[in-house]
Amino acid sequence: MEKQMSVGDWIVTYLLMCIPVIGIIMLFVWAFGGDTQPSKKTWAQATLIWAVVMTVLWFLVLGSMMAALY
């Protein structure tokens, strides 16, 4: 059985996510790494999916705004 993540583990995780480039790299490491705790792995995968969805939506909104201007 896997050890649960403590509050301290999650605080360190969120602190690392506050550093822009390191946060993105760590998301990929946690999402696809072999020795990552299951809860952190699932959270990282969900965060990456949301990042892709929000990026696509951002481009759609930006594109529609640009189209409305021209």
Q: Are 16 and 26 in contact (CB under 8 A)?
A: yes
Q: What are the tokens at 35? A: 């020795």
Whole-angstrom Cα Rg for the chain:
16
Segment 7-55, tens digit of pLDDT? 999 999 999 999 999 999 999 999 999 889 999 999 999 999 999 999 9
pTM of the model: 0.83
